[in-house]
Each structure stands twice: as structure tokens, then as C-alpha cells.
A = this chain, B = another copy of it.
Amino acid sequence: MLTTDQIIEAMSEHGLRITDQRKTLAKLFGEHSGYLTAKDVYEYMGQKYSGLSFDTVYRNLRVLNDLGVLEQVVFEEGVKFRGRCSEDHHHHHMICLQCQKTYPITFCPMQLTDAPDDFQVVQHKFEVFGYCRECGQEEGGKPMSGVGAARRDERG
């Protein structure tokens, strides 16, 4: 995962202006490894900027996504964002349904998949969903403990 500073630097390198909001956004994705919805981001940022508007959040998420700093993924429940994986080799993810953290899977099923010669493969997606150790099998799990919860251990 990119650090807060790396994210800021990436923006700077591309001639983007480093506003206070963007610093906060960089910090959010630099320190939080799970997937966040635009709404999550809005709520987190909203704590600091009272007059915050949704469209600015969307604009910045888009900018960071285009810049390759964030990855945008579509889930059943909607679109979510997270800092780009720093692992440079191809990999897939296990995603915790509770806290949204992801864990890399180095194994890629594609190499073992027999594609008929006449099907020209362009892309593939392999995702495993479940509960990580911390979220375990607790029943009435709360819906993602907000953005504030500090997370240790970053990987993929």
C-alpha cells in the first residue's frame, strides 16, 4: 500500500495542487487499508470540513483513481475505493465482509484454467469473501467500524 506521503507526492508530481482536503484524503487512504465507499470518505472528511460537499469528494476520488493511486472496485453493494496495492506482481484478494480489509492471494487460477482456443481472454477476476480472524464469526457484527479504527498490518 502507498503511504500518505507517497500519495501526496504522486499528486504533486502530476501537477495537482495539494489542498488541505487532499492531504486529509491522502492520510485516509494512506492509513486505512480497507475498501471505502464515497459516503464513508465523505463522512470521514466531513468531521474536519464542515462545508464539505459530496461532489468534491467524488472529484478527488476520481482524480486519485485516474492517477492510479486508488483502485476502484465494484461490489454488489456498490463502488468502493482503496489505496493501490504496492505488490507489483499479479495477485488476487480475500476480502473481509466485515471490516473490508483485504489479504493477498498469490495463487492465480488463470494459469490453470483451460480457455478454449477460440476464446480470447482479456481479463479475469478472482475474489474470495469471508471473515478475517479479527472479525471472526461474531454474530451481529457492526457494519464496518467507521474509518477511524486504526489498522495494523498492511499487505497486498
Q: Measuring CB to CB, which residues of chain A are less than 8 angstroms from any residue of chain B?
A: 74-76, 94, 96-97, 103, 105, 107, 109-110, 112-116, 118-133, 136-137, 154, 156
> Which residue of the partner chain B has the closest CB to A114?
B107
Shortest beta-carbon distance from A82 to chain B in Å: 15
Which residue of chain B has the shortest Cβ distance to A131 in the bound complex? B120
Report the separation of the CA atoms of residues A127 and B74 in the bound assembly, to the nearest whole angstrom: 14
Contact A94 B119 (CB under 8 A): yes
Q: Which of A118, A120, A133 has the most chain B CB within a 10 Å cutoff?
A: A120
A17 to B76, CA, bound (A): 30
- In angstroms, Cα B114 to Cα A97, docked, is 18
